[in-house]
Amino acid sequence: TGAPRTTAIEYITEEDDDRQSFPTDDYTNITPAIISKIPLKLHLKPSHPLSTLRGLIESAYPDFTHANSFSPLVTPHKNFDELSFPADHPGRAVTDSYYVNRNMMLRTHTSAHEVEMFSKGESKWLLTADVYRRDEIDASHYPVFHQVEGARIFDANKSGMQEVEDDNARLSSVLSEANILIEDVPHISPTNPVQPEHDPVFSELVAKNLKLSLNHLMLRIFGGVAGASKQNPLRVRWIEAYFPFTSPSFEVEVFYQGKWLEILGSGVVRQATLDTSLVPGKIGWAFGLGLERIAMVLFSIPDIRLFWSTDERFLSQFEQGKINVFKPYSKYPSCFKDVSFWVPEHNPLHENDFCDLVRDTAGDLVEDVKQIDHFIHPKTKKLSLCYRINYRSMDRSLSNEEINHVQEQVVSRLKEQFQVEIR
Ligand code: FA5
Ligand code: MG
């Protein structure tokens, strides 16, 4: 894309003032707007809803190691290869992930740290962190969000499996008393197979432990606020899924406020991951859960940008450890601007490139971006696109002048970086 090719990228590392810089190359697509999010660590900000939710999840796993200060800069090897992603997986593309350069990227999921954690000898752990994905712009998508990864491994032998069975008995008895209704799928099936390296009996026991453990977590998170009762139990639905680094794999959805809400991905850890971690003779599970979507429904937060607000009218409403309903202070008027242009044949423009340019120019003043027109000129075969950018501040009224100015900057950067011809 249009990022500078020669200057180094600087960012502030975990050890506060320690600046690191990286050379850029043809993969570089990280923008200043994204770099500015790295030091914010909302999951650790006291009283922030994301921090409260992290704490609530950690309290459900008191005997697990809790890690939450891993740097988001990882190698593509760590984010993808260590987790058995194929070489041609779409997630690797510069259109989908943020690269500092060919050898360094922003993690797209917390699974990037699985091998690191297992290699340290950790057998029960949670890891919370910010993750980065290039995506569309609307009320539920933001290029930075937060995940909690959880994992547990056991000895793949008789005594390890006894440990699993004991834990399963304990969790089953807790759940049998609770107002929870679970729609299950088989632990193993032809479309969600046991790994060839695994004893199917062990794999089933571990998958069952994963499900019991997460059903218990859903009860911890939603049981209180959902006001579950015998007549109106909390509904949790298990679905077969696919991830390159687990098999069998599952997704979990929770029925909340009349809708099924996707909560997490999970599964029995691929043996290749444990082999790479140099922990032989183990079998276990992992899950990865997104914090924002859960926090939006728990705290009634209507727009994902609000998590990044520095407005006291937002921040002062929350208290660490407490789940309360957010009261919107005001909804300011929105204003949209359209931009239409011809895309040059030699320089195709991906929708995520356009969204990043808008995000980098307008920051959180942009509420959503939609493509409203797309056509190919019958004679010249040239592609024409029209995007509608919806501007709205969450904190104040915007003047027409201010929005026009931002829009002019969007247009001029578009011309400069992508050589488009404005219509
Ligand atoms: C993953 O990221 C896997 N690493 C999860 C996993 C871990 C599977 C361990 C197996 C074992 P996925 O892309 O589906 O999977 O994201 C996991 C969760 O993150 C989703 O269920 C959702 O809650 C959240 N999530 C994903 N994309 C977004 C987004 N753009 N905005 C907010 N939350 C998101
Ligand atoms: Mg998913």
Question: Tens digit of pLDDT for each residue in 66-113?
Answer: 999 999 999 999 999 999 999 999 999 999 999 999 999 999 999 999
Weakest mean pLDDT among 12-21, 221-230, 297-306, 361-370: 12-21
Question: What is the best residue among 85, 221, 243 to mutate for testing ligand 1's pocket, by most ligand atoms within 8 Å of CB?
Answer: 243
Q: What are the φ and ψ backbone dihedral angles of 383, each rounded to 5 degrees?
A: -90, 130
Question: Tens digit of pLDDT for each residue in 27-44?
Answer: 999 998 999 999 999 999
Q: Which atom from ligand 1 is nearest to the alpha carbon of 289?
A: 18
Q: Which two tokens stand for residue 422?
A: 């404005």
Q: How far apart are CA 113 and CA 317, in angstroms?
A: 33
**pLDDT interval class at 4 (50, 70, 90):** very low
Name the closest-CA residue to atom 33, ligand 1: 290
pLDDT at 11: 60
Q: Which residues pair with 236 in a beta bridge?
A: 182, 254
Name the closest-CA residue to atom 31, ligand 1: 141
Is pLDDT of 16 > 90? no
Contacts of 135 (CB under 8 A, 6+ apart): 141, 142, 143, 352, 355
pLDDT at 213: 98
Nearest in space to 253 (alpha carbons), one of 231, 224, 222: 222
Q: How many CB atoms lie within 10 A of CB 25?
A: 14
pLDDT at 9: 65
Tell me the average pLDDT across 355-362: 95
Contact status, residue 243 vs residue 91, Cβ threshold 8 Å? no
Name the closest-CA residue to atom 28, ligand 1: 290
Weakest mean pLDDT among 90-99, 225-234, 362-371: 225-234
**pLDDT interval class at 347 (50, 70, 90):** confident
Tell me the average pLDDT across 11-38: 78
Is pLDDT of 200 > 90? yes
Is pLDDT of 15 > 60? no
Pocket-forming residues, ligand 1, beta carbon under 6 Å = 109, 111, 133, 135, 141, 145, 147, 149, 243, 246, 262-267, 286-290, 292-293
Question: Tens digit of pLDDT for each residue in 264-301?
Answer: 999 999 999 999 999 999 999 999 999 999 999 999 99
Is pLDDT of 333 > 50? yes
Q: Which atom from ligand 1 is nearest to the alpha carbon of 249?
A: 10
